Chains A and B, each alone.
Chain A
Amino acid sequence: MVGGDGRVNAARLAPGIAAAALAAALAGGAIWAVALEAGGIDLPAMLDGPYIRGVTLFTLKQAALSTLLSLLLGLGAARAVHRRTGPRGARGLHLLASLALVMPTTVAAVGIVSVWGRAGWVADATSALGLPGPGAALYGLPGVLLAHVFFNAPLMARIFHAALAGIPDGRWRLAAQLGMGGREVWRFVEWPAIRRVAPGACGLVFLLCFTSFALVLMLGGGPKASTLEVAIYEAARLDFDLGKAAALSLLQLGLCGLVLLVLARFPTEWAAGRGAASLGGRIRPDRVERGGRFADAVVALVAVGIVAAPLAAIILDGLRTELLTLPGDPVFRAALMTSAAIAITSAAITCALAWAICEARRTLVLPTRLGRYAGLAGLVDLASAIYLAVPAIVFGLGAFLALRGVADTFALAPFLVLSANVLLSLPFAVRALQGRLAESGARHDRLCASLGITGWARLRLIEFPVARRELGFAAALSAALSVGDLGVIALFGSDSFRTLPWLLYQRAGRYQSDEAAAIALVLLTLSLVFFIGIERLVGGRHADR
């Protein structure tokens, strides 16, 4: 299997490496196509004086802060749910996590504004109580952070909760025996599990926040809160300065790539054992601590304010419209079918590619310890995620430029949107599967090798049953991300090819905000359906616990 000099089974490594390379090539290729059209990259534009520097610094700052806050709230929520609730609480958390993801950013922003804005629920409450209201305090860095936390904390909470649930019962028993307080429980029991999953999750969230555009602008209060993407957007569209667009895209790619590489240095081991019948939550000794109760209460309050309330606002907005006329609209039905079809296809392709990449990653573990292929694992991680750093408009431009000699881009629109969705969900699916596949590999590799269980038999008999739950999560996550995506479709949508988010965007742009709100509610529901349906179907009956 592995030679003394670190030779490795190429058949197991190749598909994953190829998949990761393909993802990176598509991402970089789009920028390259744009640069080619411009006749080169306008390097001076990259360092275009104080403006670009200021914008870059702000982008870095808000992305870093957003990631940190999402991490803190997600962690707090995960611990609170783990401490105070059982399987049903876990299920609730999982479902909540699935809802925020699918929202188009502007819908989410409106939801947040309905709660925290100048004329929002909080303002109404404070004025009723005679207290000074929030006023326009939302619009600025606080609003941006609030929105990013809304999107990302639930997902992080779910990832962390799964990590906590995966801690072997033995450790909790020991902790209870030794009467550990909250801080010791964290240090000795929880942190080792969290530490494995945090860097991967943080990397993705950072990228999402870094490339955030409409949201940052809308809640940021003004152009002081511009991200690099605004500058790229301006260059690509208004100025039609493709050289500058390519240069700035490269800058963004470089910065994000750097962050990913840095995070890849942190060791990721894997959870040993399943948390299915986890005792942990019930016997952990810090349940009875007063400090713990207080912390959990605070977390619950914050979670409600930041996540649940805006969601409720969106749902209420949707319910207030003439929701029931939607199913009668053939355009709506067509968009719904299109969205669902693309989501499911995208999920299937994403899972296949993610599996191959995880397989390659775990094949690299032993050689890496033997000193071979040292940076390859980190590169694979980087390659699978780097698409997130490419602005949709640049990807669209690049795709058009690359394909215009070959075929009509409108005819190809479904494939372009599908590719974009696969690329978007790939890093999430990889991280969802990674831990379990690596652990199962460590446990079963030798046995399978000595028994001669390979290929399809190994997949069917060993791998799939063992990683089924994680695969279900990865599939549902990919489908939800796909259904809510409004990036590339905005550039290639047409009357014959519409998805739900694009329909929402179309309607909203024509004063039809009621229909837009109704479609937003449909999106939420669809995401829920995916998470319950796909997770159960692929992941097995107890997949979402």
Chain B
Amino acid sequence: MLTVKGARFTYPGGPEFVFSLTIERGEIVTLSGPSGSGKSTLIDLICGFLAPLSGDILWDGQSILSLTPAKRPVSALFQTGDLFDHLDVETNIALGLDPRGRPNPVQQAQIRSVLQEIGLPDFERRLPGQLSGGQRQRVALARDLLRDKPLMLLDEPFSALDTETRDEMARLVRRLTRDRGLATLVVSHDPTDAQRLGSRAVELRDGKITLSAQGRAGDQV
């Protein structure tokens, strides 16, 4: 379970953000809020690109603040730059297993099977430029799946997709969260996404997380 406890961050001359949030395994939380409300900052803090000025971030009770991004139990899908455009699908996914990008036969088999799992069989040699928006998302997802991290962050994953693909992707995310027991945080400004995902929705306002209709104790007002 992810626990964000009073993680505080300020950009100079900017507003102060304080986050508190919990996400259980097998649960999806959708985070929404106006621009500039700190959504990306929260993701950066959880992933480890920024360090909070005070407060803590814990996974299963243990602080993860001292871990580098690669070592944290997090895999994140960003809005941009989620795939390397000059590398083929197989290499992109392989990078999730081995930062040298050279998969051995065992790993290649793993890649093949995960591609099947997300519905893109035989896509190994394709380049990201040849894929549609939804397909790119799925390849990135495949990579993150192979990393086998229990916490999954998705930053605006559906914004460039049409309704049908959105529904598909939402179904995929729900299935993966359930089957693998992931704790999933989805950042989205679209209120219908929470419904699609059947998730608990929280909102970021004035740098603080507020409850929504399905609020729970532990989320700070």
Contact surface of A with B, Cβ cutoff 8 Å: 1-5, 7, 369-371, 443-444, 446-447, 449-454, 457-458, 461-462, 465-466
Contacts and interface: CB of A to CB of B under 8 A. Distances in A.
A4 B50 CA distance: 6
B157 interface: no
Given A444-B84, A446-B81, A451-B96, A1 B69 contact: yes
A461 B53 contact: no
A238 to B, nearest CB: 55
Given A444-B81, A450-B74, A1 B48 contact: yes
Nearest to A456: B100
B69 A449 contact: yes
A170 to B, nearest CB: 13
Which 10 pairs, one residue from A and one from B, show the smallest C-beta to C-beta distance?
A452-B70, A371-B12, A443-B81, A449-B69, A4-B53, A3-B51, A453-B99, A450-B69, A452-B99, A457-B100
Nearest to B155: A446
Contacts of A1: 48-50, 69
A452 B97 CA distance: 10
Contacts of B86: 465-466
Contacts of A4: 9-10, 50-53
B37 interface: no
Given A449-B70, A450-B47, 12 more contacts: A2-B50, A2-B51, A7-B51, A370-B11, A371-B12, A446-B76, A446-B78, A449-B49, A452-B68, A453-B95, A458-B99, A461-B84
A370 B51 CA distance: 12
A447 B101 contact: no
Contact of B49 (A2, A7, A454, A466): A2
B80 interface: yes
Interface in B106-143: none
A454 B71 CA distance: 13
B75 A450 contact: yes
B190 interface: no
Contacts, number: 80
22 contacts: A1-B49, A1-B50, A2-B51, A4-B9, A4-B53, A5-B53, A370-B11, A370-B12, A443-B80, A444-B81, A444-B84, A446-B69, A446-B76, A446-B78, A447-B81, A447-B84, A450-B47, A450-B69, A450-B75, A451-B96, A465-B87, A466-B86
B220 to A, nearest CB: 19
Given A4-B9, A371-B12, A446 B101 contact: no
Nearest to A2: B50
B82 interface: yes
The secondary-structure label for the interface of chain B is loop
B14 to A, nearest CB: 10
Contacts of B82: 447
Interface string B76-93: 101011101011000100
Contact of A446 (B11, B49, B52, B53): B49
Contacts of B100: 457, 461
A233 to B, nearest CB: 48
Contacts of A466: 86
Residue among B49, B71, B72 facing the most chain A CB atoms (10 A cut-off): B49
B48 A451 contact: no
Interface of B: 9-13, 44, 47-53, 68-72, 74-76, 78, 80-82, 84, 86-87, 91, 95-96, 99-101, 147
A173 to B, nearest CB: 17
A12 B130 CA distance: 33
A443 B84 CA distance: 9
A451 B99 contact: yes
Contacts of A452: 68-71, 99
Nearest to A452: B70
A46 B80 CA distance: 55
A270 B156 CA distance: 24
Contacts of A447: 78, 81-82, 84
Nearest to A461: B101
Contacts of A450: 47-48, 69-70, 72, 74-76
Nearest to A447: B81
A300 B87 CA distance: 41
B45 to A, nearest CB: 9
A453 B87 CA distance: 14
Contacts of B147: 451
A462 B76 CA distance: 19
Contacts of B51: 2-5, 7
Contact of B99 (A443, A444, A454, A465): A454
Nearest to B76: A450
Contacts of B53: 4-5
A457 B102 CA distance: 10
Nearest to B82: A447
B7 to A, nearest CB: 10
Nearest to B100: A457
Nearest to A450: B69
B44 to A, nearest CB: 8
Nearest to B51: A3
A7 B82 CA distance: 25
Contacts of B11: 369-370
Contacts of B87: 461, 465
A454 B11 CA distance: 27
Nearest to B47: A450
A450 B153 CA distance: 12
Nearest to A466: B86
A447 B144 CA distance: 11
Nearest to A274: B85
B184 to A, nearest CB: 16
Contacts of A3: 50-51
A190 B99 CA distance: 39
Contact of A457 (B12, B68, B101): B101
A465 B127 CA distance: 14
Contacts of B78: 446-447
Residue among B9, B10, B84 facing the most chain A CB atoms (10 A cut-off): B84
A369 B41 CA distance: 14
Contacts of B12: 370-371
A467 to B, nearest CB: 11
A461 to B, nearest CB: 5
Given A2-B49, A369-B11, A451 B95 contact: yes
Residue among B11, B52, B69, B96 facing the most chain A CB atoms (10 A cut-off): B69
A441 to B, nearest CB: 10
Nearest to B72: A450
A42 to B, nearest CB: 45
A457 B84 CA distance: 14
